[in-house]
Amino acid sequence: MCTVQVDGVALKSCLMLAPQLEGACVRTVESLAVDNKLNGLQASFHRHHALQCGFCTPGFLMLATSIVERGEMLSRDEIREEISGVLCRCTGYENIISAIHEYLHETVAANPQLVAKEQV
C-alpha cells in the first residue's frame, strides 16, 4: 500500500501532494533493510509468514516501524486497531499482528528507554 513515514509519522502517500512534503523527511520501505539484509521487523514478518502477495507488505512494515519507534507496549487488540487502515486481501491479518507484536515486545524489552514517557 502507500504508507510511508513523513517526519516519523506513518501517512498514506497516495493522499498527499508532493508540495506537502517539501522539507519533510520521507522514509519508504526501502530504507528498512540494513546492508541489503532484512531488519528485525522484516525478519519477524518472514518468521510469522505475514507476507503473501506482497502488495500490502510495505504499508504494514512502515506503519509497524512507526509503532515500534513510538515505544508503546501495545496488546494484540491495540495493534489490530493501529493497522486497521491498511488493507490486506490475503493474510487475514493474524500473522501480521503476531509479527508486529513479537517484534514490538522484543524491541521494547531490550530497549526500555524506548518506552513512551506517558507509559512509565
- Asked if residue 96 is part of any domain, the answer here is yes
Considering the domain boundaries, does residue 109 fall inside one? Answer: yes
* 70 falls within a domain: yes
pTM, entire model = 0.86
**Domain annotation covers residue 92:** yes
Tens-binned pLDDT, residue by residue, of the chain (120 aa): 689 999 999 999 999 999 999 999 999 999 999 899 999 999 999 999 998 888 899 999 999 999 999 888 999 999 999 999 898 888 789 999 999 999 999 988 888 776 654 443
Give the integer Cα–Cα distance in Å for 60 and 99: 10
CATH number at residue 92: 1.10.150.120
Residue 15 in any domain: the answer is no
Q: Is residue 50 part of a domain?
A: yes
Nearest to 86 by CA among 24, 29, 18: 29
DSSP string, 44-101: HHHHTT--SSSSSHHHHHHHHHHHHHHT----HHHHHHHTTTS--SSS-SHHHHHHHH
Domain that holds residue 42: 29-119
